[in-house]
Each structure stands twice: as structure tokens, then as C-alpha cells.
Chains A and B, each alone.
Chain A
Amino acid sequence: MRLALTLSTGCALLATGCFMEHSMPPDPPITAIEVDAVISGATLGDDCPESGVDGDIDSGACPADAPCPSFCQQSNVQLAITTSEGGGVVTWQVMRVTLHDSETGEELQELAPRDPRVWSESDGYGEWDELLPAPSELSTSYDLQAPDWNDLQSRSSDFWSRSYQIQMLVEVGGVERTLVSSAVYRVSDIDT
């Protein structure tokens, strides 16, 4: 589902320079910034500890009570966010991520997000300050806490073929909106 949100670049909405009015020219006329966001994709798998040395290369150091970092399939969600012309930046914050039954809409679990990252063509995903320049087109990514699969299995007889939705409550420039994913399935062990 698409989130389309129009914001005004007034001082309350964090337009750059708003707090420097004594040394800056008068504020420009208020312009509308459109923020468009969609969930691009998501993986429902594990929740992996920080990887070992040298990235994901086999470190041989696996915790006894958690998935080994290098073969763990990290749960995640990816977003495409577009802001229109307007100047300045808009704040972005994920307030809550929840897992839902895609057929009934029932909320099943909360999946805590972490490690916001943003894509660059040259370097892939890097750290993201969760600010949206206007204009911009961003591809972003969050790691997610893994679903409690034991709980989900106990709820459903067709657990292996069950589809889910991820809902993200986000605050964009101080305004809350909800993004909803398409159908997401448990990640498969071997993807062919």
C-alpha cells in the first residue's frame, strides 16, 4: 500500500534554516512537499546476532543459544520513499511494526525494527539518519525482530503456507501514517 502525504515546509516541519531566522533571509513561501512511501519487499526469517569478524565470512563463532550469525536469515523490510521538490528535510521515524494475518488482518505480533539503512548505487546499504531530503528518492531497509514462529505454528494448521502482512506505523514530519506490505511468507530454507 502506498503512503502519500503532503507536508508544508514551515518551521514546525523542520525545513532547514528555520531555526536561524536572525541571520537568514526571510523564510521562503511555504511549499508543499509530497512524501510517497511503499514497502518494496520483506523477509520473515530469523533474528541474527551481530555478524562475526570480516562481515559474514565463516567466523566459526556461534553462540550456543542463538542462530549462528553467518547462516542466519535476517528478517527485514525494505521501503521506497520519494519526496517532491520543496527544499529542506523531513523527519522519518518508524513508530511500530506489526505482523498481521493477511487474510483476516488480525494483529499477531510486534516486530521491533532496528538498524535503518539507505541505498547508494556505489556502496549498497549504509547507515541512514532517517531524514528525507526534498527532493529525493530513497531505498531504505530495516532489520526486524524475527516472528515468534513457535507461536505462529501453534495458531495455524497451515503454518507453512500461511501468508502475512507487515504493517508499519511511521511518523513523517510529525504526521502518523500506516504502510501495509503485500503478502509475505516465511523465508524458505533453500530458494531455487
Chain B
Amino acid sequence: MDILPQLILNSVIAGAIYALVALGFNLIYGATKFFNMTHGVIAVIGAYAFLFFGKTLGLNLFLSVFIGVATAAIAGYGLDKLIYLPLRKRKASNMALLIASLGAFTALQAIIAILFTSQFQTLWRNYSTQKIYEIYGGVITQTQLIILISGILITAALVLSLKYTLFGKMVRAVSDDEEAAKIIGINTNKIISRVFIIGSAIAGLAGILIGFDTGIEPTMGMSLLLKGVIVSVIGGVGNIYGGFLGAFLLGFAENFGIWKISGEWKDAIAFALLIIFLLFRPRGIMKK
């Protein structure tokens, strides 16, 4: 079965991408408890920032990556300060936050289209000169390997810091119960603000890496967001480690689904599996 190694690799690659997107989403959702529709477009902002500095202006690779990630982080921070924080202060419902984030998503996506056109663009200057590794007859590129490693490292970093640092403990407190956290003296808005910065930075990195792997265009944020949401829920909302595993679970389910059943039903299968899975494990794959 020579297709198996490639299938496994594909699942792992897909899982790694989903994990990166979901990590940020999960973190933010845990702290704020609303479906942030801008998460996908923040990844896109990071990617386009890299495009501008790294490709158009031709700056150093690592510097451009840093600028890209920073831009995404600033965007997330800005959205929180300008929109979500005032809404939280007004005790707005999660629905109102959802719609506000929908508006922000629409506006931001359109602004990117104005600045960079709607054309599909790649982030490399020379598209094909990427290293390819062969593992048991399956193929994985250097970029994909980097995505995988970043996913693992960032997850580990997050899980550890959430568990052992003071900041991490405060984040968990806010995620568990915002009111209670306020009572014991935590400045919840400041914590949430930091969570937005970190979550958005991860999203920005995800956007840049995905851009290297395939390419970017302004409307790609929506499908990224969807995957992030699905994975977060599979893994248990707010649960970082669970989200990481859930991402790979989704990656495997999708790719093996395509292999066994025709590709056109891939989305339907993924969701059917998701629903069945949730029926038996409504709290996600990790027992809380």
C-alpha cells in the first residue's frame, strides 16, 4: 500500500496547519467565550504584512516574519481595545460580539483586497526551490516540516506557560469564570488583551507559514477560521492540548475520508464525524 505513507504525511501536514490556526483561536475563545470571526482574517493580515515587507520590499526573511507576526498581534490587540473591550464593558451578549466581529471581518478583508488586490499571490520569490524530504515514499516539504515543528513547539510553550506561570494561571482563571477572577483582583481586561496579542501573533505566524506552503488571497480567512473553530470544539474549547490533538484527528479523518470515499463528500464526512464524536464526547477529546 504505497499510498499509506503519503496519506499519513498529508494528514500530519493538514493537522499541523489546523493546529496552528486553532491554537490562537482556542486561547482567545477560552478567555472571551465568543466566536471571534476575525481570527481567520488576522492570520491573513500577518501573511500580507510579510508579503509587503518580505517580498515587495525585499527585507530580510526573519525580520519580515517578525514584522508579519507583530502586525497580526497589533491587529488583534487593536480589535480588542476598540471593539470587544467596549462591548464587554457594556455587558453586551456574545451574540453582539459575534456580529461586531463579523463586521470587522468584512471590513478588514475588503481593506486587504484594496491594498493588495484579490489576486492569488505566493510568498516565495522563487516558488519551487523548496527542499523536499522523502519519508518511506511519502513527500513532505521543508515548509511543511517547519509548520509541524512550530505547531509542536508553540503548543508545548502554551501548555507549559498556562500551567506553570503566573500569567498562565491568571488566564486559566479568567477562562474558568471571569466574574470570579475579577473578584479575586485579577485585571481581567488586561489579561484578555494579552491573550489577544498572543493568540493573534500565533495566527499571524500560521498565515505566513500557510502562505509559504500554498499561497495567499484575501478571502482565505473564512476557511481557516472554520477549521480553527471545528478543531477547538473537538479538542475541548479552551483546552490547548486537546486542540492540538483534535487538529490531527481532523487532518486524519479528512484525508482518510478522501482516500476511501470520493473527495466531494470530504466536508460532509468531516462534519458528520464531528457530530457523532461530539455525541459521545460532548466535552471534547480531553476530559476536563
Partners in one complex: no
